[in-house]
Amino acid sequence: MNKTVAYIFLLVLFFSCQFFGLEKKINHTEKPLATVYNASLFKRDIIDLIPRGLSKVDSVLIVKSIINNWAIQQLFKKKAEENLSKQENESYARLVQDYKQSLLVNGYKERLVQQQLDTVIFDEEVEKYYNDNKANFRLNEELIKIKYLHFGKELLDQKKITKQFKSTKYEDLISLENQELNFKAINLNDSTWIRVEDVLLKIPKFREDSREILLKKTKFIQKEDSLGLYLVAVKNVLKRNDIAPLNYITPTIKQMILHKRKLELIRDIEKTLINDAIQNKKFKEHE
């Protein structure tokens, strides 16, 4: 073992002097960088593992590490071959072969799916899937439709801002949106469902008090702390185990529809493959 390590070290020194600055063209008759038993490591095996732009000292360290790791793996492999039973060696060989075959087959299937899968999903299809499976779309978190503002106490016209926030007039909401840079947090779109946890990240004052306040419909809530004022209006609430709304669950439904299409496509490809093989006499079952 000591001789092997010494041999590797000498090769590293040689490599550090000769490898860097050489032409990129690979000479396949080159001498190995390291040898462990009957396995050899060549420059072409590790050239892509060396980051560009390193100093010579760093490059030598990287190369030494790569060679040492390779040597350790080869030594372990040799010890395993010597100490594992024939049955164990054969079992691992079969696993390697099965894994290789699985990678090839699955890679080819994925290519066929990418080429043939219809990814266009219409709203009508999403709605039908939702209605057919509505009972399966239970919420595991609270959702709310809410608008809120958080601004510092130094902000001028606080009464005007509060009045505009309470208003349902379109021009008042536009006026607030135009002042967005003056606010610490803002959301005036109360037609979209939002996770309560996301709201609490924006207005932590309600995390300090009681989150239950946010789980009740209310036209207006005002809170205050050292960080400023918080204005909140909760339009609607959905609690855990309620049916998830369609517009909230739509991205998930689209993924489920695509997954279903993918499975069906793979089954069709497999049937076609079998039928073609039988027709062309490339596959037959023996009695």
Residue ranges of the domains in the chain? 2-83, 123-133+249-279, 139-238
The pLDDT score that the predictor gives to residue 117 is 95
Mean per-residue pLDDT for 3-30? 45
pLDDT in tens, 206-231: 776 667 788 888 999 898 888 889 99
1 versus 167: which is more confidently predicted? 167
pTM, entire model? 0.68
Rounded to a whole number of angstroms, the CA Rg of the chain reads: 33
Share of the chain above pLDDT 90, in %: 58
pLDDT band at residue 131 under the 50/70/90 scheme = very high
Which pLDDT belongs to residue 11? 42
Token readout for 138 is: 């239970």
Torsion of CA 241, 246, 251, 254, to 10 degrees: 110
Tell me the CA end-to-end span of the chain in Å, nearest whole number.
Answer: 56
Question: Roughly what angle, to the nearest 10 degrees, separates helices 246-279 and 86-116?
Answer: 110
Average pLDDT, the chain: 86
Query: Tell me, what's the pLDDT at 206?
Result: 79
For 245, the token pair is 């709304």
Q: Which run of H or E residues covers position 149?
A: strand 143-151
- CB contact at 8 A, 118 and 261: yes
H-helix or E-strand spanning residue 172? helix 170-178
CA 56/CA 248 separation, integer angstroms = 55
> Are the C-beta atoms of residues 130 and 243 closer than 8 Å to each other?
no
What pLDDT is stored for residue 54 in this prediction?
85
Report helix angle 158-166 to 170-178, nearest 10.
140
Residue 8 pLDDT greater than 50, yes or no: no
Residue 148, pLDDT above cutoff 50: yes
Identify the CATH class of 139-238: alpha beta
Average pLDDT over residues 138-166: 92
Least confident among 1-15, 58-72, 118-132 = 1-15
Task: Specify the pairing of strand 143-151 against strand 228-238.
Answer: antiparallel
